[in-house]
Structure formats: C-alpha cells, structure tokens
C-alpha cells in the first residue's frame, strides 16, 4: 500500500466529502486542500467536480490554481467534471458563445452528449464498451458497470482509454502522460469504482511515462 501523501483539490464543488470517504474506505489517508504547496508536494492528486465547468474554472482561477495544476508532474486523476476540466474547453450549451476555456491538460474538447432519443442527463449505471490496458484499468473489463451523471462528454480521440455508449459512443476515460480522467464517478461506482481509485493510489508513476495506452 502506498504511504505517500494524497490530496483532493478543493475546487469548491459539493462532492468533496464523498470522494474523501471513498479514499479513506480503502485505508488511505487523504487531505482536501487548495494549498499550493500541499498540492505540489503530493504523491497523488485527485481533481473532483460536480456542476458546471464555468463555475469550477472560476473557483480554480480565484484560488490561483490554474498554473499549479497545469505544471503537476505526479499522477492526477479527474472524476466527472474534474475530467472535463482537464480538456481544452467545454461547451456548456449548444451555443458556441458558451465555450469555457479549461486547463488544457489533455488535447480534446467537451461537447454536448449526442444522446439521440435518450433523455439527458445520462444518469445511472452503464457499461464500458472498450477498455485499454492502461494501469488505471487493472482488473476492469469490457461490460463492467460504472455510475454516470452528465450531459456533456469528450468525443472518442487518441486520448480515449475507455468508451461508453449512450445514444452515441463517447470517452468514458481519457489520459495523457500523468493526467487521467474518468467521466463516471468512481466514488459512486461500488466495488469496481473502488478498484479504479485503488489502482490510482497504488500506481507507480513510472508506469505512466512509458507510453500512452490507447484503445
């Protein structure tokens, strides 16, 4: 078990306590913080989030964390909105005037989910339709269920490491170098979600520096 310091970035969003509990339930210590020094010195960083990209990015800017997050070299895992904040930008509606610049850590963009006749938000349990050999998915297989709540999504790209289908196929997880994002909520996804969190906390950072594992 990793004994390093783990932090959850305090983005001012509402689900911080549930993420903290999910980590502690696995036997790990974790600190919720917006302290620059603590975030920079952490072994693992979790970027959670619920709500809108506009609100979350405003909080991150107000806390002077944009450059801090962009320059992290340790493993960073984004949950749901936290994943979306890792991309270049998010379209918060169907109007291009509503594009919110994000952290630009993974070169893809968040768009309205093309749900076709399905209702939005995409809320509830859904299966992964493709899963790469990325170490975050050790012990996870195609067909495994995870819990989703979202109306926006990242398209399939070179940075997709898992996919899901809801009216159309979208990225269930994306990654680039030390940055990993899950569109689903690991902290709400029962035993398999806990497995994702445990994989991340036990991750050897050198595993992420060898090569990008794509679908």
**Segment 112-140, tens digit of pLDDT:** 999 999 999 999 999 999 999 999 999 99
- Between the alpha carbon of residue 147 and those of residues 39, 86, 129, the distances in Å are 27, 20, 14
Under 8 Å CB-to-CB from 112, ≥6 apart: which residues? 91, 93, 94, 151, 152, 153
Q: What is the pLDDT along the chain (215 residues), one digit of tens a residue?
A: 445 799 999 998 878 999 999 999 999 999 999 999 999 999 999 999 888 999 999 999 999 999 999 999 999 999 999 999 999 999 976 566 789 999 999 999 999 999 999 999 999 999 999 999 999 999 999 999 999 999 999 999 999 999 999 999 999 999 999 999 999 999 999 999 999 999 999 999 888 865 555 56
Residues carrying an active site annotation = 80, 185, 187
- The CB density around residue 132, as the number of other CB atoms within 10 Å, is 18
d(CA 56, CA 84): 10
Q: C-alpha 32: how far from its chain's center?
A: 16
d(CA 158, CA 165): 17
Closest C-alpha to 112, from 148, 150, 56: 150
Tell me the pairing of strands 152-153 and 31-33. unpaired
Token digits for 215?
């679908």
d(CA 176, CA 105): 8
d(CA 162, CA 171): 6
- The CB density around residue 118, as the number of other CB atoms within 10 Å, is 11
């Amino acid at each position: 078990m990793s004994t390093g310091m783990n932090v959850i970035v305090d983005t001012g969003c509402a689900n911080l306590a549930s993420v903290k509990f999910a980590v502690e339930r696995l036997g790990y210590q974790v600190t919720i913080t917006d302290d620059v020094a603590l975030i920079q010195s952490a072994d693992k960083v979790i970027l959670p989030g619920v709500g809108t990209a506009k609100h979350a990015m405003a909080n991150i800017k107000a806390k002077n964390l944009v450059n801090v997050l962009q320059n992290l070299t340790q493993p960073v895992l984004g949950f749901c909105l936290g994943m979306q904040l890792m991309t270049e930008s998010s379209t918060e509606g169907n109007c291009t005037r509503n594009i919110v610049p994000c952290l630009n850590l993974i070169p893809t963009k968040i768009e309205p989910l093309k749900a076709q006749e399905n209702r939005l938000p995409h809320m509830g349990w859904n299966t992964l339709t493709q899963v790469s050999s990325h170490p975050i998915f050790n012990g996870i297989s195609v067909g495994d269920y995870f819990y989703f709540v979202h109306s926006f999504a990242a398209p399939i790209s070179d940075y997709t490491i898992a996919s899901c289908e809801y009216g159309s196929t979208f990225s269930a997880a994306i990654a680039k170098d030390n940055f990993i994002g899950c569109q689903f909520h690991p902290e709400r996804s029962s035993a398999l979600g806990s497995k994702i969190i445990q994989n991340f906390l036990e991750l050897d950072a050198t595993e992420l520096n060898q090569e990008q594992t794509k679908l």
